[in-house]
């Protein structure tokens, strides 16, 4: 995961197929697989996947995909992958009661969550939009909600104040970091995403 983001999105287009790469990492991983069929290995589970397959993998859970064929041989295999930090997700869920079900799903993801065909079809357009510019607008709304909730609960928002003060990049992890820790040392997110959210919070 990149050092300067809380969420990293990869739009993998693989003409030769999705290779077997058994690995794990400390972030959650949400993967949408398109134009591809093959096997999916997550933890101790081995299953078949098809076009439109959606899976959420928890932190440090070994996993890999291995393609067998394309739906359309003229187009590449596609995997849209979103990585997000455990600390970031836990912080947001803890602050927003409306996300309690998301918190339960994140716990289930420690063993891997495979979305049903109906659920996958419903979220597919949203995941496909992750690499797009419009997604930044959604992230701005999430950040605005995060800061609003912190203020409602009487919690400090140093990340918001840092952006208002002109810091170019800041992390919500800075809100709970040790006083001796600087903004530059925190895990960072682009201020371009957060600036509009800061204005939303400040607006009457």
pLDDT tens, residue by residue, 137-181: 766 777 788 888 888 888 888 877 877 777 666 665 667 653 433
Q: What is the mean pLDDT of residues 183-187?
A: 37
Handedness of CA 14, 20, 34, 61 (dihedral sign): negative
Give the whole-angstrom CA distance, residue 11 versus residue 192.
21
Whether the pTM exceeds 0.85: the reply is no
- How far, in Å, CA of 10 to CA of 22, rounded? 18
Instruction: Report the distance separating Cα 198 and Cα 141, nearest Å.
Output: 10
DSSP lists the bridge partners of residue 173 as none
Give pLDDT, residue 193. Answer: 44
Does the domain at 7-131 match CATH 2.60.120.10? Answer given as yes
Strand partners, 14: 77
37 and 94 in contact (C-beta within 8 Å)?
A: no
Only one residue has tokens 């990869």, namely 10
What is the pLDDT, as a whole number, of residue 195?
46
Residue 22 has pLDDT above 60, yes or no: yes
Domain boundaries of the chain, sorted by first residue: 7-131, 135-202
- Percentage of the chain beyond pLDDT 70 is 75
Cα–Cα distance for residue pair 28/118, rounded to 1 Å:
22
Q: Give the three-class secondary structure for 18.
A: coil
Cβ neighbors of 171 (< 8 A, separation 6 or more) are 6, 159, 183, 186, 187, 188, 189
């Amino acid at each position: 995961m990149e050092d300067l983001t809380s969420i990293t999105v990869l739009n993998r287009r693989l003409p030769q197929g999705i290779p077997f790469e058994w690995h794990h990492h400390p972030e959650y991983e949400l993967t949408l697989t398109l134009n591809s069929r093959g096997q999916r290995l997550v933890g101790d589970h081995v299953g078949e996947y098809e076009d439109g397959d959606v899976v959420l993998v928890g932190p440090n859970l070994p996993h890999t995909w291995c393609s067998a064929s394309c739906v359309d041989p003229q187009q590449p295999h596609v995997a849209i992958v979103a990585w997000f930090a455990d600390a970031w997700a836990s912080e947001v869920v803890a602050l927003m009661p409306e996300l309690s079900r998301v918190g339960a799903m994140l716990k289930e993801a420690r063993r891997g969550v495979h979305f049903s065909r109906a659920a996958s079809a419903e979220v597919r357009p949203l995941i496909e939009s992750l690499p797009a510019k419009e997604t930044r607008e959604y992230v701005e709304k999430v950040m605005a909600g995060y800061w609003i909730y912190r203020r409602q609960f009487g919690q400090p928002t140093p990340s918001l104040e840092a952006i208002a003060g002109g810091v170019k990049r800041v992390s919500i992890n800075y809100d709970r970091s040790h006083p001796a820790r600087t903004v530059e040392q925190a895990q960072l997110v682009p201020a371009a995403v957060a600036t509009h959210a800061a204005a939303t919070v400040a607006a009457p």
